[in-house]
Structure formats: structure tokens, C-alpha cells
Structure 1
Amino acid sequence: MQKIIRQIATEIRVHEHQIKTAVELLDGGATVPFIARYRKEATGGLDDIQLRELEQRLSYLRELESRRETVLNSIDEQGKLTPELRAAIEFAATKQDLEDLYLPYKPKRRTKGQIARESGIEPLANRLFADPSLVPVDEAAAYVKAEKNESGDDFTTVQAVLDGVRDILSERWAEDAPLVQSLRQWLWSEGLLSSKLVSGKDENNADIAKFRDYFDYDEPIGRVPSHRALAVFRGRGLEILDAKLVLPEPPEAGKPSIAEGKIALHLGWSHKARPADDLIRKCVAWTWRVKLSLSLERDLFTRLREDAEKVAIKVFADNLRDLLLAAPAGPRVVMGLDPGIRTGVKVAVVDTTGKLVETATVFPHEPRKDWDGSLHTLARLCEKHGVNLIAIGNGTASRETDKLAADLIKIMAKSAVAHAGQAQAAIEKVVVSEAGASVYSASEFASQEMPDVDVSLRGAASIARRLQDPLAELVKIDPKSIGVGQYQHDVNQSDLARSLSAVVEDCVNSVGVDLNTASVPLLARVSGLSQTVAKSVVRWRDANGAFGSRADLLKVTGLGAKTFEQSAGFLRLRGGTNPLDMTGVHPETYAVVEKIMAHTGRPVAELMGRAEMLKTLKPELFANEKFGVITVKDILAELEKPARDPRPDFKVARFNDGVEDIRHLKEGMLLEGTVSNVAAFGAFIDIGVHQDGLVHVSQLSNKFVTDAREVVKTGDIVKVRVTEVDVARKRIALTMKLDAAPARRDAPRDNRFESARPGAQNRGGARQGAPQPASTAMESAFSKLAGLKK
């Protein structure tokens, strides 16, 4: 264990005692949010990012140590564990390195090389390789058998014996760990990922055409970005693409390849026209072509996929974090509109607490076209409930429904002037993602929350609540259904689920949860609370009324002292008996606050929010052996801004009047929009025309950008300029480099949307993400959108 602690400390660049303490806390059942927030003293201030990395590496290294022990025992039982081999195994840093060393000793099916060794041919193989001046045919004659053995193995001819030599040597070399590792590293640096359209496939087929960029593609495998790797693997899985690992320079006919040359160099052999040299050259070629080329391709494809999946999962997790921590509209009356054509637009109004107060269905679109009747119904609901915000789902008929909302706002504005004699605050409208709303609507929790409401109307209520508090509403939905992932169905699902779960947990606990209003799904994400305990909390609340203090939690069945310790600090309680219960101050440190109260002579209610006074206090005066200066500083910061919400203020993008359709866009237009999604190759922006535009990574900033999230995140409101519009294919290219000169309108346009071979952008060591012409960038990036939206 000390070895693991030392390694993680080196990787994270902290002291070993910090890692040791954190591991002990994690093993003791503490959660990452709890340790990061309330055990800074013990861990030396490790934050949640460091702790998540520690948690992941701890799991990997423990698995590695367990496997290392298994390998050592297995080789030892075979009587082949030498001191040198033991040392090599002990120092193996990765699972791959460990398996390379274990390969020659790993129990396997009877191979041709084993058969040849069992037949006594190994001494011949050793002699011919050690002394190539020997004549193979003459030497092999002594090893020819008179007849087949009992197993049917046939070494009755000289050629069969020499084939046995080939099998023995090639098998031995293919299991030479240093050789395999050097070839693997060389191929990762120099090898090419190549893909072609499978013979006989119709490239004009719509499903096949999505992979057009990969019909004739190659790129250095070590520099293939995540989205392209996953696109190739998806096309391969669908049997549309034939993907291979190819050498940087194909061998000339009849000549050895570079790979074969590297094997010979490692072995210290070269062809000098000696009698056995031709045989050894064939053995080297056999080692590469039969033994190593396919296995190394498999290894490197696995590595490429794993690396690509890590990036894709990180993109998903980052976007999910941004979405969950998006600005909440707060306690406003919201009307949710779930657009539909034939089935109508579902309407749900929720009050300032998120309670569903009324529903309706209107039919403004085909086939009824009851536009005026729909406006009348919606206006009545707005007046009756005081609606001041409209949330519109971005699904089918969203554009048409957005226009309906715009007309409604105009009607309500005129009505307000007519009745009050002056203009009042206008109702605002926001188009929101409805991804996952249908999943929530049909869930067991939705049926418990809204038992008498039709499934189709529940989605409208969810859309409305997403504006009030995105975090509280989206935790009710499986994160994989929220729709901010890149190739999410192509990645390891357990790794994805684990990563997304950690993001949700971190977001919920960073914001805090109202103990007296939170739903079961939200409570279940609080540090230390399981689904079962969360249900018990809600049952207790329903039976006994609102919690009066955090201490009342200990009255809940199944919620003991350990769970209370882990969860209490993240649960907020407004209007309780102790004002500290609404803050992030943990109950275990209330005694520290009492010392502060005694020192200042003020009750806690008069301390909270008094930043000018609190800043004059010296933390050292209130620290003790259990809670040191770091903890006291956190307490004082919390008292300065009690129950502060880390999320930004709610804003609505102001779309340009008269720009409601892609056909209204003109090159050079300056627009405001909301970032709807961020991918490795750029950001998608909702500019109010019901077709997201793309800001390619090269157009995000005047400086070089490798990751789009360095500049923007989901939910940001940004200013953009239109650079290109393709109405037929519904593609919009945007730039955030507003000070750059617009593209010349008289520039040649014949090939502006011609697809670029992805490999061409990266061959020869070109920087990934280097600036590209807008048309090339947009075409290449949009070609990946199919995978992004899957």
C-alpha cells in the first residue's frame, strides 16, 4: 500500500501523508465532496479534482497490484521465477507492461512452437540462430522423425523440421517483452490509422454517406483526435469501413519492411549471405506478419479506443457539469411548452416553488391550425397565474412554437399597457433542451410526483422546471439521457456512468440541497445519502412535517451518526431553529461559531453577512486541535455569504428581431446566442433560428485553442458573427473572432463546402486544431455531428 501511496503522491504532486489520509478517509466510507469540503485540515487542502483523480488511480493501482501478485504466483508455481524476472514484474508500471512480461509464461493452448519444442527441435533452432554459417538442411536431417508421434505431430521431413524452427523462433521473439514494447511505441508514434469504404457498399446511401470523410483516410494513430477515432470505430462496427494499422512506409515488393528491420536490429542479426541467413530472415518476417502485426494492431486499436473514450467521457462530463450548474431562473412562474404538431403543444404552468398548477393542450399547427385559439388559451393562463417566463422545448415544431410564444408576448405586453396604462416587465422566452424529458415523464418518480397528470403533459412541466432550477430537475433523469455527450453509445458504459455519477454528486453538493423541499432523486445525490435513506428522509418529512433543525435528521430511520456526518453540511434548512442550519457550516463545527459569538459578543444572526466585521477576525484565535486555521477560514467565509449559490446569474440571450429562420441569416450578421453544446472540435450555438450554428475551435479565439471549453461552456451567452450559411443542408458557420475582417463576398465559392480529408489536417506533424478556412472547418465538424447527436 505504501508503494501505491508513494506513486499517487508523485503523480498528483502532493505529500505522501496527504494521500495516506485521503485513502484512509475513502476506505472509511467518506465521500469525495465531504473530504474536499470538511476534511481540508486532514488532507492538506486536497480539492475535489485531486481527490477524484486519486480515487481513480487508487482503484487502478490496486487492481494492478492484485494482478501482479497473481502473475508472480503463477510463474513461481511453474518454477520459472528468476530474481531478474521478479524485479521486472515488480517494476511493471502498467497492466500492459505486466501482461507483456507474463505472456511467455501464461497458460495457453498448445501452439506450433510448443509442439516443435516437445519434439526436441529447440536445440536446432538455437544452434542455427547462434551460428548462421551452419547449413539448415544438413543440420535438420538429424532431427527428422521416422514417423508421426502419438499426437499426430509430423516431423518426418526436413521441411517440417525447419518449419518447426521457424515456429519456435518466431514464437520466442513475439513474446520478447522489450521487443514488443519498443515496436508498440514505435507504431504508436509512426504508424497510421487507415480506413476505406468496405467494397460493395453504396457510398450514396444516407447512412453510409455520414462516414464519407473516412472512405479514404489515414492519419498518424498517436495523433488521431477522439471524435475521429470513435467515428472510424463506429463505421468499422457497422461494417461500413475497413480500418487497419499500416506502416508509415509500405515495404517494396520482395524487401523486408521497416518493422522487420527493427526486429532484426533488436535481435542483433543482419543478413550476411550465410547459409542460415535466408531461414532466419523468413523467421523474422513470420514473427512480424503472423505473430506481431495483428496483435500490435489490436493493442494499439485498444489503446486508441480507450484514449478516445476517456476524452469523449470527459467532454460529456464537462458539458453535464456546465448544464447542471447553469444559472437558475429561481422562484419565477414559468410556462413550459412541449412542442408538437399533430398531437398539439403541451402546456404546463408551475408556480414559484415548481408546483404544477395547471395544464393544457393547444393546437396551433397542422392539422387544426388554431393559432388564435391557442394564443387565447395561453394568454388566459399567463394572466391567471402571473407567468413571467416561457420555456420552449427544442424538439419537433420548436421553431413554430417559438413564434407562437413571441406573438403571445406581444399580446401580453399590449394587454398590460391597456390595463395599467404603462408598459410592465415583458415576459421572456427561452428555448431549452428537452433531452430526457420523455424519459422522466414515463419514470416511476414522475408518476409519483404527478400521479393524475398525463404522461405527455409531465414533459412540459419538466421543461418549465429546468429553467427554475436546472440542477434540481435534471438529477431526476439518467445523465446519459440528457443529450450533451459525444459518441456516448460508443464508449465504455460503466466508465461513463461512473464519471457522470461523480459529476452529478459534485454539482449537487457544491450547490447544497434544501432539506424541506428536495425530491428523493436530489437527496440521493447528497454526500452519504443512498436512495433508500433519501426515501426515508422524505417519508419522515411527510409524516412529521418540515424539519426544524439538522439534528432532526438523526430521528430518520436508517440515518445514523456516520451518515449524518457525511450529509449534514450539504443540507440546507431555511427558517429552522438555528440560523447556521441554512449555511454550509457543518454541525460538528458549531462550537467554533459559538467561540466567535463569544469573542464578538454578537448572536449568530448578527454575524451572518457582516463581511466587514468578519474580515477583521483572526482565524488563529478560534482554531483548536480538531479544527485548524483552514477550517476556521472556511467558516468565516461561509458566514460572510451564508447559503451563497455558486451558480451564475440567470440571463436570456437577446435574439435579433426578424431573424427567426435560417433563411433570414446573412453573412456578416452579428448575433447573440446561447452555447447549446461543446465538442472537441468546437461549440454549437443557438442563435434563435432553430438550427444551431457551429463555431469551429479555430474560430473561438484569436489565440490558439486546443480545447473549446477553454473559451466557452454549455449555457454561456456569446456574441457571434455569421461567416457562412448553407440553407439546403441547414449548416451555419459562425465565428467569435468579431474583430477579424469578414470574408470577401467576391471570393471563389465553388468549393466552400467541399469536405476535407481529416488526415490531411494532421499529416506531417501539423498541429491539431490549427486554423482552417471556415468552410473546411465547418464541413469537417458537421460531418461528426451525426455521432455527436446519436
Structure 2
Amino acid sequence: MIELINKLMNEFNITENQVKNVIEMLDQGNTVPFIARYRKERTGSLDDVILRKFAERLAYIRNLDERKNAIIKSIDEQGKLTDKIKNDIIKAETLTEVEDIYRPFKPKKRTRATIAVEKGLKPLAEIILSGEFKGDIFEYAVNFINEEKKVASVEYAIQGACDIVSETISDQAEYRKWIRDFVFKEGIIEVKNNEKETKDLETTPYEMYYEYNEAVKKIPSHRILAINRGEKEKILLVKIVVDNEKIINYLNSKCLKGNSITDKFIEESVKDSLKRLIYPSIEREIRAYLTEKAETSAIEVFKANLKALLMQPPIKNKNVLGYDPGFRTGCKIAVLDDTGKVLDTATVHATMPNDDKEKAKNELKELIYKNDVDVISLGNGTACRESEELLAELIKEVKAEKGKELYYVIVSEAGASVYSASELASKEYPDINVSLRGAISIARRLQDPLAELVKIDPKALGVGQYQHDVSQKKLAESLTGVVEDCVNTVGVDLNTATPALLSYVSGINTAIAKNIVEYREMNGKFNNRKELKKVKRLGDKAFEQCAGFLRVMESSEPLDNTGVHPESYKACKNLLKILNYNEEDLKHSKLQDIDDKVKSIGIESLASQLDIGIPTLNDIIKEIKKPGRDPREELPKPIFKTGIMELSQLKSGMVLTGTVRNVADFGAFVDIGVHQDGLVHISELSDRFVKHPLDIVKVGDIVEVRVLDVDVKRKRISLSMKK
């Protein structure tokens, strides 16, 4: 335990108490959002990102320790455990090192070496390896000829002994580590096209890799995943090449004994061991390591993009028309009021092949005027471009006819079709056609992105990079953590939240979320947070974990509409008394001068009087200043549009404002209002060196870009953010 604590202290640069406290709280079943928000004194205010990494690392180290113990036990049962082997296993930092040490003792499948051992050739191999033999090796090998064991000749006996020597060399952990490090430092990834598979193909997405070389230690993550995919599709042939002579020289220096009689057999065994046993294994290990590293990088990018997407500010107090564009079956329309309630649905034929634009515009105007629509949420999928042209005309006509200001916003419709056909959507809208549910989702994504997008598998939201090429289990776990953190950061309205949203709240699983909604349907709205304890299977532990993240706007207790945890209500009310406020002041948000009052007394003095920590006190003050505060409101709102530009209108040097739609390892994709996103390559993101695009931008950012180049034929736009 002491070693575990020291390791985590050093890796995360935190104190012993922080490590002990976090381990204890995780082991007690506390969730990361709860620990991050309500146990800041015990964690030293570690945020949810660090805490999740801590939890992952803790699990890895514990799994590693379990594997070490299992291996030590296995070697001991074989009667081969020495103090050195045991210490080497205990000191090992990675699973690879542990498995290298275990390799000679691991039960093997039948190999050339094990067959040779069965034939009684191990003593001959040991003689060769020892370097102490002085006589005629061929004459000595006659002793191992055995018709019963099918050792028919001296040559066969020596070859079998050399097979054992080859495997013995291959099993040396020290040698494998040196070779692995050498290949990683000096190896070159060599990629070629598979001529057999590509000879009949006019073009493929992997043409840049047809004759491609890059150093193992330098190749970036996105190229690893692209190459892996090309290899999986049998378009590319991939191998790692290295100077084998250097490795052979190293192995010879370790294995040769200066005996001219036996060294020639060892030299042959070294070459055989490297070619047949060591190198293929090391190459697989390094490729697996590069892939794992690339997957981790891709997942981190996906997590950052997903968080930015989910935390986009809601558009409140506006009636929204959701517009799901399409060609053959028409464009699906759904009008929602400012609470997200569906007011109207329709289908208009505004695009080819069955278009009647004038009729479509008139139908849309009728819906807009009837329902007092403020903004149109346009999905960015098929027929978006054609629909955008129609909406630009529509907005001008609405302005001319009624003097009404109308805008549209393009939103990602990724995953809308998945949601439309889901069981959840059919429960929410049993009487609405599947095809129209997509338009509802598109409208709600503008009104409250978080509440709507949690209904959809994060992998379907279109902000990933090579998401199908990474470990799906690891990806799903990581993305679930992001959604949990976002939901709990924002907080959830207990009386309106769907089961999908509730299931991401700290301490609430799918079954409890369903029970909360059933309770609400049977008994009406929750009157306060305490009433949660009446919900089936929601016990004291679950209440402790979830209560602070659930809001009850209708409660007579004003603190139920804040992020103040019920365990801190007493301290909060004492604070109000000390500062000469009452509950009415809290209810009506009349605490504007609270910062001045706190400053005059001193935060340390107040914390001492209230017997709570300073981080908790600061959080309480922040919450009661603005009950019901939504942290997303502090972020920039999406760009409201009234007109469009054509791709052909873009000219080099033009400066435009756009929205970041996606971020990858190599740059950021920006929507500048021409339907086709432009790419700001990593080299064009800033005047200074950029290690990763996420250091500069995130999904949803409003940025100013300059057009560098437009390839109309290939529909590619190159942009720059350099000043």
C-alpha cells in the first residue's frame, strides 16, 4: 500500500493525504463527480478530469499487482522461484516487463524447442550454451541418437539442440527489453500498397501511404490509426524495419563464450532466434504499443470534443423550428415552444425532385407566424445546402412582410436518425411519425444540447477521430465519464428530466432513473429534494451522491434549486444570518453585495465560524448568488445567420467568422457558412508553435479565420487563424 501511495503521489504530483483520501472515497463507492464537487477539502480541490485519470491509474496498478502475485505463485509452484526473479517481478513497472520475466516459465504450446526437449536434447543444448565443451561436438552428439525418440542423426540432434538454444535466447527478458528499446528508437515504419488488392482500384483514401516511411518514435497517432485501417482493409502492407546487424552484434556479445567449437552454433541460433522468435514478437508488441498510444490520444480528442459539444450554451426563451432537410421524401419540420414542447409538425417539399419552393415557403411562413417562431434549427445533413438557400429567401420575405427578425442556426444532426428509431424516442413521442422525430431532436439540440444529446450514443455524435479503429470498450467507458461530468456540472431539473438524462447523475443508475420518473408520473412533481428518499431503491448512499446535482425549482426550500448539497444547508443558512440576509433575499436573488460582505469579514474567518472548508464555502457563495445558475450561459452563443455564401464566392485572403465543428490531431474543422467545413491545419492555428489543436480551440468556439485556398472541384477549403 505504501508503494502504491508513493507511486500515485509522484505520478500526479499530489500529497500523501490526497492520495489516501481519494483511494478511500473511491473504494467506498463514491462517484467522481460527487468527490470532485463536494469533497474538495479531502481532495485538495482536484477536478473531475484528474480524478478520472487517478481512478484509471489506480485500477491499472491494482490489476498489475494481481498479475504479479499470480505469476510469482505460478513460478513458485514450479519450484523455480528465486529471490532475484521475485524482486524483478515486484520492481517491474509495466505488464510487458512482467510478462517478459514470466516468459521462460510460462506453459508453452508445442514448439520446435519443446519437441527437442521431449526428444532428450536439452543436455546437448546446455553443453553448447555453456561454452565449456572442448571435444568434437559431432562425436558427442552421437550419444543423443535415439530411434525410439526419432532422433535419427547427429545433424538432427544438433539442430534440435540449436532450436532449444534459440528459444532460450528468445526468453531472456534482458535481451527482449534491449531489442524493444532499440527498435523503438531506431525502427522505421515502412508502408507500401498491396499491389494485389489495389491493381484494379482507381483510387483509395490511402494513396499517401503507398510508399511511406516514418520513424517509429516520431509517427503521430492519427497516422498510426490510418495505417492500421488501411492494413485491415488489405490495401496497405506494413512492417517495421531496423538494422538487424546491430541487434545480432548485441546478442552475440551477450551469448558467445569465446569457444570456437560451440560459438558457431550459438551464432546460427542467434540469427534464427531473432528472425523466427524475437523480432516478429517485438514488432507485434511495438505496433500494439503504438496502437494503444494512438487510441488513447484519439479517445482524449474525442472526449474533449464531446465535452465541448455537450456544454454548448442553451438557447433559452425562444420558440424554435426544427428543420430536418431531405430530398426524395421532403424536409421534416417540428415547431417547439420555449420549454421544448412540440407545437406543430409538417413535411414540406422544398428540394428536388418533388420541390415546390413557393408552396414550401408559404407553409413555413404559416408555421412561423402561427407559433411565433424566433429561430430555425437546420440540420447539416443531406440537402442542407439547398434548404439553406430557401431559408435565406424565407427570412428576407418574413422581414419584408411582417417586420419580424428571424434567424437560423446550422446544427449537427449526427445521431438524429439513431435517436428517431430508438425505443426512447418511441416512448417520448408514441404518436409522432419516426421521420418527424429527427426534426424534434434537431430543434432541441439548439434549445438544450446537453439534455437532447445524452439520449444518443456518444459515438454517433460525429465529433470523433478514427472512433471505429479504437477499443470500443475503452471508448465507451471514457465517453460515459465525459457525459457524467457534463451532466453533473450543469445539474438536472428533477421534475422535467428524462430517464436518459437522470441515468448520468451521480449515484443514479438506469433502474433508479426509471423509478424516479415512475414516481413522478404517479405522484406528480417532486416538492423538494427530501422526497427523493421515497423513490424505490434510492437509499441513503444514492441520495448523498445525487442530491446536490438535482434541482427542484418548485421547492419551498430555495437551496433545492442550487448546487448546494443538503449536508451544507445548515452552514449555508448560518452564513445568510451572519451576513444579515434572509431566505426571501435568497429566493429573489437579492445577494448582489455578498462579495463585499464576505470580504469585510474574511473568508477564513467565515469558514472557521461555520466549521466548513474554504473551498466548500466558496462554492456555496457562488451558488446562492445566482440560484438555478447554468454554467453554460457563460459561454458564447452560436452564430445566428440570416444569409449564406457560395463556395465559389470564397476568395483567398477573405476574413470570416466561423464555428469550430470538430477537432483532430492535425487541425480543426470550421463552419464558415458555405456548408463545406474548412480545415485550419495545426500549422495555421497560431503564430506560435502548437503541440495539439486542443490547446488552441475546442468544438463550438467562435473563431476568426482567413481563407488560404479554395479547391472548388474537390470541395476543400484551407483556412488560417494566424494574425
TM class, shorter-chain normalised? over 0.9
- Per-residue CA deviation, residues 306-329 of structure 1 (Å, 9 max, x unaligned), is 111111111111110010011211
Is 1:261 aligned to 2:249, yes or no?
Answer: yes
Q: Mind listing any 5+ residue stretches in structure 2 that lack a counterpart? A: none
DSSP-derived class of the 1:93 partner: coil
Q: 1:122 to 1:350 in 2, by over 3 A?
A: same
Structural mapping, 1:311-460, within 5 Å: 311-417=297-403, 424=404, 426-460=405-439
Alpha-carbon distance in 2 for matches of 1:432, 1:686? 10
Q: 1:625 to 1:96 in 2, by over 3 A?
A: farther
* Amino acid in the other structure paired with 1:514: D
TM-score, structure 2 normalization: 0.95
Match of 1:165 in 2: 161
Is 1:202 aligned to 2:188, yes or no?
Answer: no
Is 1:463 aligned to 2:442, yes or no?
Answer: yes
Match of 2:661 in 1: 676
Alpha-carbon distance in 2 for matches of 1:730, 1:702? 26
* Amino acid in the other structure paired with 2:331: V
Match of 1:55 in 2: 55
Match of 1:298 in 2: 284
Alpha-carbon distance in 1 for matches of 2:22, 2:426? 41
Quote how far apart the aligned CAs of 1:130 are.
Answer: 3.6
Alpha-carbon distance in 2 for matches of 1:513, 1:681? 36
Alpha-carbon distance in 2 for matches of 1:204, 1:667? 38
DSSP-derived class of the 1:222 partner: coil
Q: 1:135 to 1:457 in 2, by over 3 A?
A: farther
Quote how far apart the aligned CAs of 1:116 are.
Answer: 3.0
Alpha-carbon distance in 2 for matches of 1:182, 1:378? 71
Quote how far apart the aligned CAs of 1:65 are.
Answer: 1.2
DSSP-derived class of the 2:656 partner: strand
Q: Determine if contact 2:121/2:144 at 8 Å carries over to the other structure.
A: no
State which of 519, 539, 544 in structure 2 corresponds to 1:560. 539
Match of 1:115 in 2: 115
Alpha-carbon distance in 1 for matches of 2:158, 2:610? 77
State which of 166, 174, 192 in structure 1 corresponds to 2:170. 174
* Amino acid in the other structure paired with 1:358: D
Is 1:535 aligned to 2:514, yes or no?
Answer: yes
Match of 1:627 in 2: 612
Q: 1:346 to 1:550 in 2, by over 3 A?
A: same
Structural mapping, 1:113-192, within 5 Å: 113-131=113-131, 134=134, 137-149=137-149, 154-192=150-188
Alpha-carbon distance in 2 for matches of 1:613, 1:139? 100
Quote how far apart the aligned CAs of 1:43 are.
Answer: 2.2
Alpha-carbon distance in 2 for matches of 1:87, 1:515? 55
- Per-residue CA deviation, residues 230-260 of structure 1 (Å, 9 max, x unaligned), is 111111111111111111x4x6xxxxx2221
Alpha-carbon distance in 1 for matches of 2:598, 2:453? 37
Match of 2:648 in 1: 663
Identity %: 45
Q: 1:626 to 1:103 in 2, by over 3 A?
A: farther
TM-score, structure 1 normalization: 0.87
Is 1:613 aligned to 2:636, yes or no?
Answer: no
Match of 2:688 in 1: 703
Q: Determine if contact 1:328/1:649 at 8 Å carries over to the other structure.
A: no
* Amino acid in the other structure paired with 1:261: N
Structural mapping, 1:510-589, within 5 Å: 510-589=489-568
Is 1:646 aligned to 2:631, yes or no?
Answer: yes
Aligned length: 716
- Cα RMSD of the aligned pairs, angstroms, is 2.0
Quote how far apart the aligned CAs of 1:625 are.
Answer: 9.4
* Amino acid in the other structure paired with 1:185: D
Is 1:227 aligned to 2:222, yes or no?
Answer: yes
Quote how far apart the aligned CAs of 1:216 are.
Answer: 1.1
Alpha-carbon distance in 1 for matches of 2:655, 2:607? 55
- Per-residue CA deviation, residues 337-371 of structure 1 (Å, 9 max, x unaligned), is 00001110100011000111100000011122210
Quote how far apart the aligned CAs of 1:106 are.
Answer: 0.6
- Per-residue CA deviation, residues 426-470 of structure 1 (Å, 9 max, x unaligned), is 211111110000011011111111111100100001000101110
Quote how far apart the aligned CAs of 1:109 are.
Answer: 2.0
* Amino acid in the other structure paired with 2:673: G
Alpha-carbon distance in 1 for matches of 2:501, 2:208? 43
Alpha-carbon distance in 1 for matches of 2:107, 2:146? 31
Q: Determine if contact 1:349/1:359 at 8 Å carries over to the other structure.
A: yes
Quote how far apart the aligned CAs of 1:24 are.
Answer: 1.6
Is 1:718 aligned to 2:714, yes or no?
Answer: no
Structural mapping, 1:725-736, within 5 Å: 725-736=710-721
DSSP-derived class of the 1:471 partner: helix
Greater alpha carbon shift after TM alignment, 589-598 vs 693-702: 589-598
- Per-residue CA deviation, residues 461-509 of structure 1 (Å, 9 max, x unaligned), is 1000101110010001011111111111111010000000000000000
DSSP-derived class of the 2:214 partner: strand
Q: Determine if contact 2:408/2:640 at 8 Å carries over to the other structure.
A: no
State which of 223, 234, 251 in structure 2 corresponds to 1:239. 234
Alpha-carbon distance in 1 for matches of 2:188, 2:571? 62
Quote how far apart the aligned CAs of 1:120 are.
Answer: 4.1
Quote how far apart the aligned CAs of 1:185 are.
Answer: 1.2
Quote how far apart the aligned CAs of 1:133 are.
Answer: 7.8
Quote how far apart the aligned CAs of 1:543 are.
Answer: 2.1
- Per-residue CA deviation, residues 567-617 of structure 1 (Å, 9 max, x unaligned), is 010111213201111111101110101211332332134255333334434
Alpha-carbon distance in 2 for matches of 1:286, 1:458? 64
Q: Determine if contact 1:337/1:390 at 8 Å carries over to the other structure.
A: yes
Match of 1:596 in 2: 575
DSSP-derived class of the 1:602 partner: coil
Quote how far apart the aligned CAs of 1:655 are.
Answer: 6.6
Alpha-carbon distance in 2 for matches of 1:99, 1:335? 59
Greater alpha carbon shift after TM alignment, 499-508 vs 125-134: 125-134
DSSP-derived class of the 2:196 partner: coil
Q: 1:12 to 1:30 in 2, by over 3 A?
A: same
DSSP-derived class of the 2:661 partner: strand
Match of 1:785 in 2: none
Match of 1:70 in 2: 70
Alpha-carbon distance in 2 for matches of 1:32, 1:457? 38
Alpha-carbon distance in 2 for matches of 1:655, 1:178? 64
Greater alpha carbon shift after TM alignment, 364-373 vs 175-184: 364-373
- Per-residue CA deviation, residues 9-43 of structure 1 (Å, 9 max, x unaligned), is 22111122222221221121110000011011222
* Amino acid in the other structure paired with 1:210: P
